Structure 1
Amino acid sequence: MPSAQTAAERIAELRSEIDAHNYRYYVLDEPSVPDAEYDRLFKELKALEAEHPELVTPESPTQRVGGEALATFGQVRHEVPMLSLGNAFEEKHLVDFDRRVREGLDLPAGDLFGAGAEVEYSCEPKLDGLAVSLLYENGHLVRGATRGDGSTGEDISANVRTVRNIPLKLHGTGWPAVLEVRGEIYMPKAGFEALNARQLESGAKPFANPRNAAAGSLRQLDSKITASRPLELCAYGVGRSDGELPDTHIGILNALKSWGLPISRELKLAKGIADCWAYYDAIGEKRDALPYEIDGVVFKVNSVAQQRELGFRAREPRWAIAHKFPAREEVTELLDVEFQVGRTGAITPVARLKPVQVAGVTVSNATLHNMDEVARLGVMIGDTVIVRRAGDVIPQILGLIPERRPADARAVQVPEQCPVCGSAVERTQLIKRSKGRESVSEGSIYRCVGRLACQAQLKQAIIHFVSRRAMDIDGLGDKIVEQLVDRGLVNSPADLYCLTREQVIELEGFAEISTRNLLNAIDASRKPTLARFIYALGIPDVGEETAKLLARALGSLERIGRALPDVLVYLPEIGLEVAHEIHSFFEDEHNRTVITQLRARGVELQEEGELHPEFAACATLAGLIDKLNIPFIASTGAQRLADRFGSLDAIISADWLDLRQVERLTEKAARSLRDYFDHPENARRARQIEAQLREFGMHWQSERKQAAGLPLAGQTWVLTGTLETMSRDEGKARLEALGAKVAGSVSAKTTCVVAGPGAGSKLAKANELGLEVLDEEVFLERLAGLKGIGRD
């Protein structure tokens, strides 16, 4: 154990190093070490401080875990009021603001002979969080407070100390003896999503939006809860300051940055109102790609002297304005709820709303997802509801205003018959299988049982079948599919390959050339890859990636179609529920008929072959016993049974005395095994699984094959932002051809991230995790270096 002196020196060294890493990560956006190295340093510091508690100081990076819960918050009087900003919603409001500024500064106006004097403005996004005041004395954080009513706020000192990117001690030199920093504490989008996932997992109510989550987290009386939340600060100015500061607003923010306080990475200087408007447009375009929520842009006169000259109105400065984006949340009336029928027969409630402008778009419909969501929201027809729209996301109802519910409000009722075909509507059942038992519960989805006899399902199935990522039949848009189904020309995907010139040319909008083009496109789709064909079939819960996995692993449609659920689960990322969906699809007589018709009408699958070498002899006897989910037989017990008996038949036929010879197999487990295999159906099922494993070449006695490894096999890549020399799909295809899996989200398992212009939260998450990030130029160089490497 080091002496107190050497421990003190090492503690000081670790604190300095960790503070430097935090500064580079949060303020400069230039991570200097991987997360693992940072965690090692932090763990060492924590251990040393535990050994020497007398050396712990309030500024130590370890002191962000929260302390004892408070009974209530104290009050803080702001020496310099925290004023609100005036708002601009249209370009003319911004022009008027600039005019008032120039008039207040007595600057020359424009005329026929010139544009007049231009004011310099600082520009930065308006974060959607909670405004706070941070007081530093002699460089040490001594107090944190909310804005409150602008004059008086709440003392949240214990909570702000837990926010990771707020320095507990200022960096560098030159800071005033007393410095009050103003800023916004917010929750990044990725952190908000993770927090809500944890809330749902624990049965707690999810937060409505990141702003509510940030505000709720900061106002916890128990600071340990605040410490567990992913909060960050962005400094935007100063209040009280006992000392010299730079003479421009941007200069002050850069000084705060040099002292360890994070400022906006989008901060810019604009010369004149035209530059301000261009900045507003630019930020609006990249809004959805930013890793945090914003609701507008803040413009401030950059010169501090000019700010003083302009002064204040009653509750807002004359030298600053917030130019808001169109609202993403609005209040309107729920006029009715209708039900749409999807490709798999799912009956989805859709809200019909009194039209309202949300984020610059007129919204009259919103998704309600399913009846469980209707119940969770508690909405009734006639309610006043809150509607949200973000980017291109379908508008959704966030909640209702209960006090505005009318006396004649009506409950939302699921129809008993399909609104399209009149077939019965049934609620789905969820079957959970574990350790030899099945538990059945009601699902959240209601389904029309009419299947392809229901025109809505048939249309959606055909639209999916011909889509670009499926059979890729160019020219078969939604409207044309509707015509084909409505006229009775197409009753299944196979009928597409029987269409004649005479039938197509009679469709609305078709002439000789368009008819020929469509028939040529249908003909050109007759040779899909196995993966595309599997995806095109529209098997429930089987997306593109699962279709690719099935095609790559099992190699043929015949093998996929016959695979038992218990064999499918040997493939990575295929659980038992999805395995049962796949098996049920191919067991269905109608589906088998359609597939037979497709092949009879000239659809020839490409890239069919043998079982992938990766899965040859991949099963073990112990694994098979374990996957049978026999009560009281865990993986260790399954291994001991396999070691003792060596074959499935020997285990099935083992008597009580044989089982007592198995090392450390309990009487309860032995009895459970015997009871399980005494049921002929269980023994038959186990032998059936083994027979198929043997037939497919997956059995433990099958021949192992040497895979010709692809250079990126086993790696997971993520593409984000815009690629300029190729499409994202092309980039994905080239990576997959080299053996990589291309994922849609970043995690600790991600190997590499390719980030183009406009990269947002995924890039931020990659930097947070210390992952390798490539720009497009380096990515292309990497691909070029790997070209030709791979299969022999």
Structure 2
Amino acid sequence: MSGVEDRISRVSQEQKDTDLRREWDHLAAEVRRHRDLYYNQEPEISDAEFDALFLGLQQLEESHPELAVPDSPTAEIGAPARAGSSFANVEHPSAMLSLDNVFDEAELRDWLAKVPAQRYVTELKIDGLSINLIYREGKLVQAATRGDGHVGEDITENARVIEDIPHRLSVDSPFPVPELLEVRGEVFIAVEDFSAVNELRQKAGGKPFANPRNAAAGSLRQKDTAAVKARRLRMICHGLGASEGFSPEEQEDVYQALVSWGLPVSPYNQVVDSADAVIERVRYWADHRHDALHEMDGVVIKVDSRAAQRTLGNTSRAPRWAVAFKYPPEEVRTTLLDIQVGVGRTGRITPFAVMKPVQVAGSLVEKATLHNQTEVRRKGVLIGDEVVIRKAGEVIPEVLGPVADKRDGSERPFVFPTLCPSCGTRLAPQKAGDADWRCPNTRSCPAQLSSRLESLAGRGVFDIEALGSKGALDLIRRGILKDESELFDLTEDDLSSSSVYTTSRGGINAAGKKLLDHLRKAKTTDLWRVLVALSIRHVGPTAARALAQRYGSMSAIREATVADMAETEGVGETIAKSIAEWFEVEWHQELVRRWEHAGVTMTEDRTGAPAQVLEGITVVVTGSLDDFSRDSAKEAIISRGGKAAGSVSKKTDFVVVGANAGAKETKARDLGIRILREERFHILLDQGPAGLD
């Protein structure tokens, strides 16, 4: 190589090094800035966007190790406390480490192969604010935020007003109270409390929080302890720091001791004995992540053996014996372009957000529910806002709240309509105090009629596959149906004026023939399904089943008094009143008469019905069964007179568990409720509780 070429090569390499250093400087500065916003202020980007930013910095350092300086953000924990904070800085007795992340099953299996163990503990990754509690001789002496992992902010007084945090540890425990106990946990606001917390904040003149995590972080850093208490903060413990006089052998022992001392531990923790079982838990919670009482974005996997934990040790920022599997983001930000309203089958007017399309939970989203006008006010969203949205599986996504700091003054409030957008009728609440407004034109409003037709055609009701939204609207708009009372009287001649159910030459098409065939078959069905098909407000399958079983006919239900119906299990006064009021309307009576005349079932067929061996028995089914779907298991219980409950409580008699049963099985064991595997469930269905003895 000539001297000129050598100089050119050196200059080129120097330029590459300079470009790499600039890229590293930019990424490092962005990671530090967004980490500070996350821990100390209000985040500007989503967790997923930060994870991508952090991963980019890690990959750059792996490719170019010379860039990985000792004070790189990839070696740091949390973020330093804010300058000028009103809370004093305190040093943790031991470092509050972070966690390394994996984002798919292949990465998780690689980690499990590198960290083999006889047992692992799987825990939900709570999306809240980390807290460090110090107990000396059983007395709470200090509470602090994570800070940079070594020094946090002293929030002891605020921690004292969180009901889940005991001021003293219980001495009534098989585990002696240690001289020193450093407990790690997560402070959060339960999902069900979030709207109420935002409403309280707005009434006080504050901006609404975008999500529960921001609400918890903002609440814990207030100086007014009364205001902190009003925020309904919760806490769950997930580990230990330093301790004196306590040497547990396993992570599970840690949690048992914490519970015995009066500290809260997650009910969702589960010990498993293989890598495959870890993967099963991760898959289970991917489908049930919204079953938890708190926000969660992943599953934490820990080696159960404390001796193995010590052997594996830690990096500068994270333990080698634990990792967080993070799910794809369900929470993203986008622009709220408009707020429109829809009309439901009972006339309920539901506002919904129209947004700039955005990918969330694997699909493109551009609409999200806003429930009712009261919720729009509670959430504090304005048209034009940047908003945070969340999507749970296939459920319609929900707007959590605005990113209020992004407002520029061009945003405008939503004005709830006074007239029905479908038929022009004036809107009003059905009763004084109702949050929902409704269109009172129940019989003729095209939107309501279309929704009712779609609903009664559903698989859980008449199962009329050929009657979808397009067909329902066509039958209404062309005047073929005045209302659903005429549905079972439809003929080929009636359908001849339809554009959906006829061929281009005017004859009835395959869809039309299928519709008429399905209507004939739908007439012979269960009485409870007919009751659901009437679209009576508040009457769902549970109440309809109970009423059909008790009264045996539509005429008997119609003639029953409110007081008598209200005594039916699963009904109550509200549903009973709604049924009585529905039958007082003349066109409703006509609807029932016409369906009966057309041959639709109006009496309960009890021939061949199973023996009522589960009368008075409450059963919860959880996990995957071989011989039953969730719906068929529920049907089997109810048809035998039992109650198929969705949650475990002291009133539960049996819990049937299948694969991936999860937290319900754990709660059943804690409450001492009898647990059945699938083969015993068959015996329960055949013989009742007596057959299990």
TM-score, normalised to structure 1, is 0.60
User: What's the CA shift for 1:546?
Assistant: 2.6
Change (3 A) 1:236 1:775: same
Matched residue, 2:422: 420
Matched residue, 2:98: 84
User: What's the CA shift for 1:587?
Assistant: 2.3
User: What's the CA shift for 1:415?
Assistant: 2.7
C-alpha separation between the residues in 2 aligned to 1:82 and 1:210?
Answer: 23
> 1:98-247 residue pairs with structure 2 within 5 A?
118=114, 120=116, 124-125=122-123, 126-135=125-134, 140=138, 143-149=141-147, 150=149, 151-154=151-154, 155=156, 158=160, 163=165, 168=170, 180-184=182-186, 193=192, 216=219, 231=234, 233-238=236-241, 240=242
Matched residue, 1:447: 438
Letter in 2 for 1:235: H
Deviations 1:232-276 (A, max 9, x none): 6443353x4679979xxxx652563575566873456888xx998
User: What's the CA shift for 1:222?
Assistant: 6.5
Change (3 A) 1:90 1:752: closer
Specify which of 471, 483, 493 is matched with residue 492 of structure 1.
483
Matched residue, 2:404: 402
**What's the secondary structure of 1:726's corresponding residue?**
coil
Change (3 A) 1:775 1:119: closer
Letter in 2 for 1:446: W
Deviations 1:134-175 (A, max 9, x none): 44668x566452334131242367568954799656977899
Comparing 517-526 with 157-166, greater Cα deviation is found at: 157-166
Letter in 2 for 1:527: T
> Does structure 1 conserve the Cα–Cα contact (< 8 Å) formed by 2:420 and 2:427?
no
**What's the secondary structure of 1:582's corresponding residue?**
helix
Matched residue, 1:354: 356
Matched residue, 1:605: 602
Specify which of 598, 609, 616 is matched with residue 714 of structure 1.
616
Check if 1:525 corresponds to 2:522: yes
Change (3 A) 1:777 1:212: farther
C-alpha separation between the residues in 1 aligned to 2:274 and 2:88?
Answer: 40
Matched residue, 1:462: 453
Deviations 1:755-784 (A, max 9, x none): 433445555554555444433332222122
**What's the secondary structure of 1:548's corresponding residue?**
helix
> Does structure 2 conserve the Cα–Cα contact (< 8 Å) formed by 1:141 and 1:168?
no
C-alpha separation between the residues in 2 aligned to 1:307 and 1:354?
Answer: 46
Change (3 A) 1:217 1:565: farther
C-alpha separation between the residues in 1 aligned to 2:281 and 2:545?
Answer: 43
**What's the secondary structure of 2:289's corresponding residue?**
helix
Matched residue, 2:18: none
**What's the secondary structure of 2:357's corresponding residue?**
strand
C-alpha separation between the residues in 2 aligned to 1:335 and 1:144?
Answer: 47
Matched residue, 1:561: 558
User: What's the CA shift for 1:734?
Assistant: 2.8
Specify which of 676, 683, 687 is matched with residue 781 of structure 1.
683
Change (3 A) 1:442 1:714: same
Structure 1: runs of 5+ lacking an equivalent? 1-71, 102-116, 431-440, 610-707
> Does structure 2 conserve the Cα–Cα contact (< 8 Å) formed by 1:427 and 1:444?
no
> Does structure 2 conserve the Cα–Cα contact (< 8 Å) formed by 1:159 and 1:226?
yes
> How many percent of aligned residue pairs carry the same amino acid?
33
Check if 1:591 corresponds to 2:612: no
User: What's the CA shift for 1:91?
Assistant: 7.9
Check if 1:545 corresponds to 2:552: no
> 1:233-632 residue pairs with structure 2 within 5 A?
233-238=236-241, 240=242, 253-254=251-252, 256-257=254-255, 265-266=269-270, 281=283, 283-289=285-291, 293-298=295-300, 304-307=310-313, 311-312=315-316, 322-421=324-423, 423-430=424-431, 441-501=432-492, 503=495, 507=500, 516-563=513-560, 565=562, 568-569=565-566, 571=568, 577-607=574-604
Structure 2: runs of 5+ lacking an equivalent? 1-85, 260-264
> Does structure 2 conserve the Cα–Cα contact (< 8 Å) formed by 1:170 and 1:260?
no
Letter in 1 for 2:405: E
| Length, aligned pairs only | 575
C-alpha separation between the residues in 2 aligned to 1:367 and 1:477?
Answer: 22
C-alpha separation between the residues in 2 aligned to 1:556 and 1:241?
Answer: 68
Letter in 1 for 2:388: I
**What's the secondary structure of 1:416's corresponding residue?**
coil
C-alpha separation between the residues in 2 aligned to 1:265 and 1:442?
Answer: 42
Change (3 A) 1:521 1:709: closer
Comparing 212-221 with 767-776, greater Cα deviation is found at: 212-221
> 1:20-99 residue pairs with structure 2 within 5 A?
76-85=90-99
User: What's the CA shift for 1:474?
Assistant: 4.0
C-alpha separation between the residues in 1 aligned to 2:209 and 2:671?
Answer: 25
**What's the secondary structure of 1:443's corresponding residue?**
coil
Letter in 2 for 1:331: R
User: What's the CA shift for 1:349?
Assistant: 0.9
Comparing 508-517 with 769-778, greater Cα deviation is found at: 508-517
Change (3 A) 1:165 1:768: farther
User: What's the CA shift for 1:334?
Assistant: 1.1
C-alpha separation between the residues in 2 aligned to 1:226 and 1:448?
Answer: 41
**What's the secondary structure of 2:427's corresponding residue?**
strand
Deviations 1:336-373 (A, max 9, x none): 01111111222211110122333443321111111111
Deviations 1:58-103 (A, max 9, x none): xxxxxxxxxxxxxx987532133324345555789889x97xx9xx
C-alpha separation between the residues in 2 aligned to 1:769 and 1:278?
Answer: 25
Matched residue, 1:114: none
> Does structure 2 conserve the Cα–Cα contact (< 8 Å) formed by 1:754 and 1:774?
yes
Matched residue, 1:658: none
> Does structure 2 conserve the Cα–Cα contact (< 8 Å) formed by 1:458 and 1:491?
no
Change (3 A) 1:194 1:782: farther
Letter in 1 for 2:685: L
Comparing 529-538 with 402-411, greater Cα deviation is found at: 402-411
User: What's the CA shift for 1:507?
Assistant: 3.3
Change (3 A) 1:550 1:219: same
Matched residue, 2:43: none
Comparing 175-184 with 770-779, greater Cα deviation is found at: 175-184
User: What's the CA shift for 1:715?
Assistant: 3.5
C-alpha separation between the residues in 2 aligned to 1:555 and 1:213?
Answer: 51
Specify which of 711, 734, 749 is matched with residue 636 of structure 2.
734
Deviations 1:490-547 (A, max 9, x none): 3332433233356389736989766554433211222333322222111122222332
Change (3 A) 1:413 1:210: closer
Change (3 A) 1:354 1:166: farther
User: What's the CA shift for 1:230?
Assistant: 9.1
Taking only aligned residues, the RMSD between alpha carbons, in angstroms, comes to 4.9
TM-score, normalised to structure 2, is 0.68
C-alpha separation between the residues in 1 aligned to 2:107 and 2:543?
Answer: 52
User: What's the CA shift for 1:428?
Assistant: 1.6
Change (3 A) 1:602 1:403: same
C-alpha separation between the residues in 1 aligned to 2:167 and 2:654?
Answer: 26
